[in-house]
Amino acid sequence: MNLASNCRHPLWFPLLRQYYRNVLLSHQLLPAIKHVAGNTFVFQQDNAPFHRAKDAINLLQQEMPDFTGPDLWPPNNPDLNPVDYKIWGVMQQRVYECRINSVNELKQHLVEVWNSLQQNVIDAAINEWREQLRACVHADGQHFEHLL
């Protein structure tokens, strides 16, 4: 079974949910963010199953100064996620500049491209995100692509 393609499988979901909370959030992501930003950030997730898990939500409500929970964020809206509408496009273009011969090569190249992203690409995504948010608010949460 491919774990990545079936994360909702009843045998895997509890283990992955625990890994997300206990390893990725508690020991990697949150300490890294706090180290870089202190308490001057807002933490937000999308509606992925692990992000909506009660134990992950409880942890984030305790640990984060301004946690935006899944009930306040539109589900499955890539137009409001800078990684979805900007970063992945840049990464895809760079990853496929050369021929990929295996899944392991793809994984390695993704990590290399991710690590080589320059700050100006991230800054541009954040600046575009602000415009996306303004358009979404102006359209009362409805379709807003025509406002951009």
Rounded distance between C-alpha atoms, residue 141 and residue 148, angstroms:
14
Closest CA to 56 of 28, 11, 24: 24
Tens digits of pLDDT across the chain (148 residues): 333 444 444 555 677 788 888 888 999 888 988 888 887 877 777 777 788 888 988 998 888 877 877 777 665 566 777 777 788 888 889 988 888 888 888 888 888 998 999 989 888 888 888 888 888 888 887 778 788 7
Domain boundary residue, one of 55, 76, 97: 76
Number of domains in the chain: 2
Do both 87 and 68 map to the same domain? Answer: no
Do both 108 and 68 map to the same domain? Answer: no
What pTM was computed for the model?
Answer: 0.50
Rounded distance between C-alpha atoms, residue 131 and residue 128, angstroms:
5
Number of neighbouring beta carbons within 10 Å of residue 148 = 10
